[in-house]
Structure 1
Amino acid sequence: MKTKLPRALIGCACLCIGMLPATRFAAASGADASKKIADQFVAGKQAGHMESYEATEVLAADLNGDGQDEVVVLWTMYGPTYSNNGVAVLAKQRARYAAAGETHDPLGLVEGMTVTDGLIQLTTKWPGPNDPRCCPSVSKTLRYRWTPGKLTPVK
């Protein structure tokens, strides 16, 4: 026996599904809003039951001089015996933010992030020749420039 759904119910379901794009995050202003946008972004990164993601640092900055702030997210993925860092830029597209560039470079142990003159700078530690795995001791500064769609290392 076939059951017909009322057209209004079908229309409502289609409208609701259309309002939930997978890679866009609600727009808002201020530090709290940037953190919320970043948290929504990292929540979408959940890969498995053994890993979790956290937006460890979030900055709002106009990276390309267009008068509109982008949200820069330093995120950390925690596994059972490992962790990994990444940086992503979320840019406003109409009334929402969307992922607009992310680095997949090894970043080492990231201790901090700043944005100055459109340049994203990461203060990191890397393992030295006699360092145990837990405790890198070699300081490095990594720099990235964002152009819509990608993050490029800057020497």
Structure 2
Amino acid sequence: MKRMGSTIGLIVLLSGCGVYSDVKVAMARDALRQECMGTFTNTCVSKTIDYNILLLEQAKSAWLAQEGELVESLGKEAGSLWTGLVEQRTDQLVDKLESVRPGFFSRWFLGDAQPLSGKGMMEFSGQDLKEMQGALMAEFIAKGKKQGLTLTEKGAEKYAPSPAQPVAEPVAGQAEAALEAAINNLIASEIAKEGGAEYTDSRQVIYMDLNEDSQPDAVVLFTVEGQGGGNGSYQSLAGFYRSGAGWMYQGHSVVSGAVTDIKAAPGQQVAVSTLTSGPDDPRCCPSVQGVDIYTWTGRGFDVKQG
């Protein structure tokens, strides 16, 4: 069943198509930017909502077009599950957009004025749509597992691993070097935001299966200190998926307390040992020991304090 989760996700990703291919969307985007770039008015907020709904409808059509591939690979139940989720979640988002649209009076009589709420509206980006699809896929996988979806004969031919042609394991040294390079790239991007430097002695790496594909992924604890020219520091947990001989960064989250150790816990969880300051501790020297459980979400870690 673990392998089935990653297989379902692969099918959804491979059967997707481009959202920005429609000329109508490109023309609408250009017209919106020409009229409303840098302009915060009731009219422009409403037009931005119109554009986002148009873009969402295009994305919805692309996502619904994946039904045939899902039916072929996972059966009729997969198709109805996917279309139901897409319809439900996109309709909910359209309703949310409409709920913040300036009213008729504001648009017609106060069109050039700023919204009374003081809230604007940003255009949806390609990354926004990828995150929406990712959330849909995660929900589809979770519900598909509960329903017991399995590969059809055609699906098995396309996606099931062939025991006669096993994938060669990467050389250990190559994998370690690739992971270190991926970690260094992440930390460099963090330092580029507000400066500082990594406290390398506190870096820790553990291996666990984060995406249920029966492959060892990596969880990394890293520390950045001196950001902004100060003497403060922060620590983060980052997740990397293993991909052949390489590693794909997925996301990270800042952790609280002074972390002394991390260990893999059941499921996609990490036990984080920390020291926090007691009522009589000086600022330099926390002494209260604790363990927080952080759960991998696919983009970062959520904490359940112990």
- Structure-1-length-normalised TM-score: 0.68
Deviation, 1:115, is 1.0
Aligned to 2:205: 58
Q: Which of 163, 171, 188 is the matching residue for 1:43?
A: 188
1:68 aligns with 2:215: yes
Aligned to 2:265: 116
Query: 2:179, 2:247 within 8 Å by CA — same for their partners in 1?
Result: no
Q: Which of 268, 279, 283 is the matching residue for 1:133?
A: 283
Residues 24-64 of structure 1 show CA distances to partners (whole Å, capped at 9, x for unaligned) of xxx97555543343233212222368510245111221124
SS in structure 2 at match of 1:45: helix
SS in structure 2 at match of 1:44: helix
Residues 47-92 of structure 1 show CA distances to partners (whole Å, capped at 9, x for unaligned) of 3685102451112211242212222110101115222111111224
Task: Give the total of aligned pairs.
Answer: 128
Structure (1/2) with the larger strand percentage: 1
Aligned to 1:88: 238
Amino acid at match of 1:68: Q
Residues 95-138 of structure 1 show CA distances to partners (whole Å, capped at 9, x for unaligned) of 75333232234x21110111132321110000111111100011
Give the distance between the partners of 2:189 and 2:195, measured in 1 at CA. Answer: 15
SS in structure 2 at match of 1:153: strand
Query: 1:58, 1:72 within 8 Å by CA — same for their partners in 2?
Result: yes
Q: Which moved more, 1:83-92 or 1:53-62?
A: 53-62
Structure 1: runs of 5+ lacking an equivalent: 1-26
Give the distance between the partners of 1:28 and 1:144, measured in 2 at CA. Answer: 30
Amino acid at match of 1:129: P
Query: 2:179, 2:246 within 8 Å by CA — same for their partners in 1?
Result: no
SS in structure 1 at match of 2:190: coil
Give the distance between the partners of 1:144 and 1:48, measured in 2 at CA. Answer: 25
Give the distance between the partners of 1:28 and 1:90, measured in 2 at CA. Answer: 18
Give the distance between the partners of 1:138 and 1:100, measured in 2 at CA. Answer: 32
* Relative contact order higher in (CA < 8 Å, ≥ 6 apart): 1
Structure (1/2) with the larger helix percentage: 2
Identity of aligned residues (%): 27
Structure 2: runs of 5+ lacking an equivalent: 1-169
Pairwise CA RMSD of aligned residues? 2.7
Q: Which moved more, 1:86-95 or 1:144-153?
A: 86-95
Structure 1 residues 52 and 41, CA, compared in 2 at 3 Å: closer, same or farther?
A: same
Aligned to 2:225: 78
Give the distance between the partners of 2:247 and 2:178, measured in 1 at CA. Answer: 11
Amino acid at match of 1:57: Q
Give the distance between the partners of 1:46 and 1:148, measured in 2 at CA. Answer: 23
Structure 1 residues 34 and 28, CA, compared in 2 at 3 Å: closer, same or farther?
A: farther
1:145 aligns with 2:295: yes
